[in-house]
Structure 1
Amino acid sequence: MPFFIENKELFKLQPGEGNGLRKCQLGAIWALKSHFTTSSNDIASLISMPTGSGKTALMMATCFELNLQKILIVVPSKILRRQIAEQFRTLQVLKNSNCLQSEIEELKVYEVTKRQKTREQWELILNEYDVIVAHPNSISPYYKDIEPIPVDLIDAVLVDEAHHEPAETWRKLNDFYSDLKRVFFTATPFRRDRKRMKAKLIYHYSIDRALEDNIMREVNFVGEQIGIQNTNDALMKSAFEVFQRERELNPNASILIRTDRIEDSVILTQLYNENGFNVDYIHSKRSANINSQLVTKVKNNELDGLVCVGIASEGLDIPNLKVAVLHATPRSIPYTIQFLGRISRQPDDQEGNATLIANKDEVKGEVYKLYKSDETWGNLFLN
């Protein structure tokens, strides 16, 4: 019997004791259940919640509440693919919320690391596994040399970081599974390039509400006026001063450093480590195992933080991140929001605001566009 059907009685959406899910997660679940009582599967359902508000737990709860059997989860990076696969195997976030009994068996999750060529291969996989986690490059019908997961072998598609959907590889997936339940999750439902997702927005939880509910915290902006040349040293020195103060107040605070190129991540890692930090770098060319191990080290305070390349930071689940440094400014609103969301979540064991360090001359244009896209960002950022 499929896992989520067999173990439905061990799951409680609103447990009588313990923390339970957040009200935004409950609101999203109720919106989904209401939506599917009156709507067909013609168009995907879209859930919009700020980064850090608990989309992973929401996806897990969705599988139980919608009585799903075989589920495909689509993610934008190898790093997030490994993270989601590991989290679904244990369902620990639901156990931590007292929504799921601790003695439940481990969920069988298949992480797609190579392309399949035949239907028979997918049949063998889905005979054993209930959840498939994949990047579009491994499963999208856009590619003619692969066999997508046959429609009749799964009953739902969950898409994390769904603002990527207008990209052709993602759009082909959306169209291919148009007869199935499709639920999209994103912090950025509106794109600056005005390309629309083929999805219906059924639930939106705002930044203002997340601040009121203490899910997000305010962010102090430390802007360095240093022109556009040779900025690395100045940003690193500012980061060192801020991080030392943070560690005195919050010993578990960690730092996230962003750049755009893999070669720059190596240079920045060396620069920071030569000046009192203990950091390492993650990017798409490193193995999923190495990236996962480094994320775990940051969570365990064995590293001060990470240097990430491009979208490598997207979806990263490191609750103790407190300081972010932009050595390269994201060039789109979704990526900017994703990066800022990594530090703006509010952990129970940290005090004070988060801090963003950036070159004023490089970041001001993107910040203006961010505010223009949603004026409530002005309530999140100070200075």
Structure 2
Amino acid sequence: MLNLNYFIESIPNIESNEELREPQIIAYQRTYEHFVMNKERNHAIIVLPTGVGKTGLMGILPFGISFGRVLIITPQLVIKDAVLDSLDPEHPKNFWLTRKIFERFEELPSVIEYESKTSDWALEQSNIVILNIHKLQERLDSALIKRVDSNFFDMIIIDEAHHSTANTWETSLAYFSNTKVIKVTGTPERTDGEKIEGQLVYKYPLSQAMANNYVKSLERIHYVPDQLFFTIDKNDNTLFSLEQIRDMNLKDEDWITRSVAFSEECSLRVVEESIKILNEKRSTGVPHKIIAVACSIWHAEQLQRLYEKNGQDVALVHSKLPKEELNIRLRSIENHKVQVVIHVAKLGEGYDHKYLSIAAIFRPFRHKLPYEQFVGRVLRAIDPDEVQTPEDNIACVVHHKELGLESLWKFYKEEKEKSDVIKYIRDDDPLLNDRVSQKKIEKHTGSVFEDGKGSVERDSFIDTELLKERERRQKIEADKLKKLKELLPNIPDEALLQMVRREEEGSPSSKILRPDKYLFRKMRNLDDRIKKEMVPEIILEYNIPMDGSQLSISKLFTGKYKWISKKVNNNAGMLATYLEYRLNEQVGISDRSTWSPEEYDSALNLIEDLFILVKKILDSEHK
């Protein structure tokens, strides 16, 4: 039975845990003060920069604060998957164990990912439910708010909370109106200026994260052309210099920056510069990569051609890709099959790949938020045990000077200056307000031509030292895992890891930490027993052609089961269907997605009796 007081009765190692980062501990303490000591009911807002440890923070926030289940809401699938991997008790790098919040497997909370097929039993057995916001939409019959009571959760944690003013979020929070709500974000300002509801309980400045080496250092490199020439009309060969365009007020700055962005000649210079930096970084053996941002899919394809002509393997990702193809391209990034990643509104917040070290910008940003989110993709630090030189943890932002990004870079410049003097956390530091013009952008552009070789200008962000020490995997556990892998090569690493941990603890854990996976495994085991063991054994034992139809005249398929031989046209399929159907009959429920663990256990016993029955009938027919 689920212990609804789990988060109150557990004894996690948080406040004196050297494996946690200071901002994680302080953010936890401030949240505890907000809800427990001050008994506030306002939503709590926490601001942590990208790469500092938001997911880990979400993993410790419920302890001592939540008196029941916890719901974690993410704004998109990429973020949801990242959060689930980190908090999945069965994942090899589970946060609570790797960061020594708990020492033993059975101490962990039970976690499920909510999907439309999630059973009521799995929901009831969960301490933490993780879902994407779309699973809360009222228009869906499978929406979570249609499945549970309004008091089902005692705490809701919202990741990337600057999205939380949208209708679906507000509807959901209104439904769970008595729930403690914590909003975690790295970018609390919205492009529309709308404020996030709640009380700021803690903010950790990016400058502090840089000073403490939690994230990469950063420098800006922009390409400066010797001369730029524009056509006002693409069909007109009259050329105007950049100075003439500005002095004669022929076009505004938006037109200039968009024209530069779509100029293949200007883009090529940035492509070449970014590749030069990449080659320097990759010379250490670390698989650094470029991440480039484009204006549109067409524009991204143009950039892809430029990078490929310069000898680079490219993964282009955008929202129009089929899911299967998107996954293939994402895997090519993770497996280091490409050197360049180009994205169009796809790999924004929540996408983490620490080897993204060069941000190549090919579009003008009009607002600080999307600019910061893109730059944030290259800030995640590479582990010290992988770093070969200090350069490995210095990221570069590369772009053409005339993209008009100077005012946005100003934010990082000022953060650098603050990082020199910040010694302690200051949760009341004001965020920088970098107002951006909201005027209408002229959509058409002119052709742009360059004259001369041009040059590059470097603007250092901050000069930091690498962290001296970071957590390494425990050698004893790694050795045991390696030996088990040699003995059991076909068993997944996750299962082997649990075997190692349970062996160390002296006894197996009876606690179910992934109720959704627990049921899925039982379903899969039953399916495998029928289709991968029983049916093949019968086919071989009685020398029955797998794809023939001889069994259609067997006693098995008479009477009420005659329909099987008419519907299924091969012997293997007939046997599998017979066993499946008879089993469902005996359990009494045809929809296995609704079965409880007890019903699966019963089914595993019943199928063995049915197997014996089938063999007896076939024995009588094959004498």
**TM-score, normalised relative to structure 2:** 0.53
**Residues 273, 76 of structure 1: alpha-carbon distance in 2 compared, 3 angstrom cutoff:** farther
**Residues 266, 36 of structure 1: alpha-carbon distance in 2 compared, 3 angstrom cutoff:** same
Aligned match for 1:318, one of 347, 350, 353? 353
Q: What is the letter of the counterpart of residue 208 of structure 1?
A: S
**Residues 106, 191 of structure 1: alpha-carbon distance in 2 compared, 3 angstrom cutoff:** closer
Partner SS, residue 66 of structure 1: coil
Rounded Cα–Cα distance in structure 2 between residues aligned with 1:378 and 1:292: 40
2:133 paired residue number: 136
Aligned match for 1:258, one of 288, 293, 299? 293
How far the C-alpha of 1:246 sits from its partner, in A, is 0.9
Task: Say whether the 8 Å CA contact 1:111–1:133 is kept in structure 2.
Answer: yes
Deviation per residue, 1:71-113 (Å, 9 max, x gap): 222222222222222222136233332323364579432144x
How far the C-alpha of 1:23 sits from its partner, in A, is 0.5
Deviation per residue, 1:333-355 (Å, 9 max, x gap): 22222221221233323322210
Task: Say whether the 8 Å CA contact 1:222–1:356 is kept in structure 2.
Answer: yes
How far the C-alpha of 1:361 sits from its partner, in A, is 1.7
Partner SS, residue 63 of structure 1: coil
Task: Say whether the 8 Å CA contact 1:83–1:292 is kept in structure 2.
Answer: no
**Residues 138, 379 of structure 1: alpha-carbon distance in 2 compared, 3 angstrom cutoff:** same
Rounded Cα–Cα distance in structure 1 between residues aligned with 2:368 and 2:134: 23
How far the C-alpha of 1:162 sits from its partner, in A, is 0.9
Rounded Cα–Cα distance in structure 2 between residues aligned with 1:300 and 1:373: 31
Aligned match for 1:357, one of 398, 415, 434? 398
Q: How does 1:166-315 map to 2 (within 5 A)?
A: 166-225=165-224, 227-228=260-261, 229-230=263-264, 231-249=266-284, 251-286=286-321, 291=326, 294-295=329-330, 297-315=332-350
Q: Does 1:108 align with 2:111?
A: yes
Deviation per residue, 1:294-315 (Å, 9 max, x gap): 5455344343242222252211
Rounded Cα–Cα distance in structure 2 between residues aligned with 1:7 and 1:296: 39
Higher relative contact order (CA 8 A, sep 6+): 1
Rounded Cα–Cα distance in structure 2 between residues aligned with 1:87 and 1:176: 28
Q: Does 1:368 align with 2:407?
A: yes
**Residues 315, 103 of structure 1: alpha-carbon distance in 2 compared, 3 angstrom cutoff:** same
1:77 paired residue number: 76
Partner SS, residue 26 of structure 1: helix
How far the C-alpha of 1:247 sits from its partner, in A, is 0.6
Coordinate RMSD, CA, aligned: 3.3
**Residues 41, 106 of structure 1: alpha-carbon distance in 2 compared, 3 angstrom cutoff:** closer
Q: What is the letter of the counterpart of residue 398 of structure 2?
A: I
Q: What is the letter of the counterpart of residue 376 of structure 1?
A: E
Rounded Cα–Cα distance in structure 2 between residues aligned with 1:102 and 1:290: 39
1:12 paired residue number: 13
Q: Does 1:382 align with 2:460?
A: yes
Deviation per residue, 1:207-238 (Å, 9 max, x gap): 22112211133311121246342243222212
Rounded Cα–Cα distance in structure 1 between residues aligned with 2:417 and 2:325: 37
Rounded Cα–Cα distance in structure 1 between residues aligned with 2:114 and 2:140: 21
Pick which of 212-221 and 271-280 moved more.
Answer: 271-280
Rounded Cα–Cα distance in structure 1 between residues aligned with 2:325 and 2:126: 24
Task: Say whether the 8 Å CA contact 1:87–1:93 is kept in structure 2.
Answer: yes
Task: Say whether the 8 Å CA contact 1:257–1:325 is kept in structure 2.
Answer: yes
**Residues 153, 9 of structure 1: alpha-carbon distance in 2 compared, 3 angstrom cutoff:** closer
Partner SS, residue 347 of structure 2: helix
Task: Say whether the 8 Å CA contact 1:324–1:357 is kept in structure 2.
Answer: yes
Rounded Cα–Cα distance in structure 1 between residues aligned with 2:80 and 2:322: 12
Q: Does 1:154 align with 2:153?
A: yes
**Residues 64, 239 of structure 1: alpha-carbon distance in 2 compared, 3 angstrom cutoff:** same
Rounded Cα–Cα distance in structure 1 between residues aligned with 2:188 and 2:29: 19
Rounded Cα–Cα distance in structure 2 between residues aligned with 1:372 and 1:254: 24
Task: Say whether the 8 Å CA contact 1:41–1:182 is kept in structure 2.
Answer: no
Rounded Cα–Cα distance in structure 1 between residues aligned with 2:346 and 2:193: 20
**TM-score, normalised relative to structure 1:** 0.83
Rounded Cα–Cα distance in structure 2 between residues aligned with 1:54 and 1:4: 26
Deviation per residue, 1:96-147 (Å, 9 max, x gap): 32323364579432144x5x9xxxx774551354433333333134x48764
Task: Say whether the 8 Å CA contact 2:23–2:204 is kept in structure 1.
Answer: yes
Rounded Cα–Cα distance in structure 2 between residues aligned with 1:223 and 1:264: 20
How far the C-alpha of 1:363 sits from its partner, in A, is 3.9
How far the C-alpha of 1:194 sits from its partner, in A, is 2.5
Task: Say whether the 8 Å CA contact 1:4–1:63 is kept in structure 2.
Answer: no
**Residues 190, 313 of structure 1: alpha-carbon distance in 2 compared, 3 angstrom cutoff:** closer
Task: Say whether the 8 Å CA contact 1:81–1:111 is kept in structure 2.
Answer: no
Task: Say whether the 8 Å CA contact 2:135–2:143 is kept in structure 1.
Answer: no
Partner SS, residue 179 of structure 1: coil
Task: Say whether the 8 Å CA contact 1:259–1:328 is kept in structure 2.
Answer: yes
Alignment: residue pair count: 372
How far the C-alpha of 1:196 sits from its partner, in A, is 0.5
1:64 paired residue number: 63
Partner SS, residue 313 of structure 1: coil
**Residues 372, 218 of structure 1: alpha-carbon distance in 2 compared, 3 angstrom cutoff:** closer
Task: Say whether the 8 Å CA contact 1:41–1:181 is kept in structure 2.
Answer: no
Q: What is the letter of the counterpart of residue 358 of structure 1?
A: H
Rounded Cα–Cα distance in structure 2 between residues aligned with 1:283 and 1:378: 36
Task: Say whether the 8 Å CA contact 2:151–2:178 is kept in structure 1.
Answer: no
Q: Which has the larger radius of gyration?
A: 2
1:52 paired residue number: 51
Rounded Cα–Cα distance in structure 2 between residues aligned with 1:36 and 1:131: 19
Task: Say whether the 8 Å CA contact 2:87–2:96 is kept in structure 1.
Answer: no
Rounded Cα–Cα distance in structure 2 between residues aligned with 1:31 and 1:305: 41
Q: What is the letter of the counterpart of residue 102 of structure 2?
A: L
Rounded Cα–Cα distance in structure 1 between residues aligned with 2:127 and 2:404: 44
Rounded Cα–Cα distance in structure 2 between residues aligned with 1:68 and 1:285: 42
Rounded Cα–Cα distance in structure 2 between residues aligned with 1:248 and 1:68: 52
How far the C-alpha of 1:45 sits from its partner, in A, is 0.6
Deviation per residue, 1:21-71 (Å, 9 max, x gap): 001110101111111124556421100011110001111111334346432
Partner SS, residue 195 of structure 1: coil
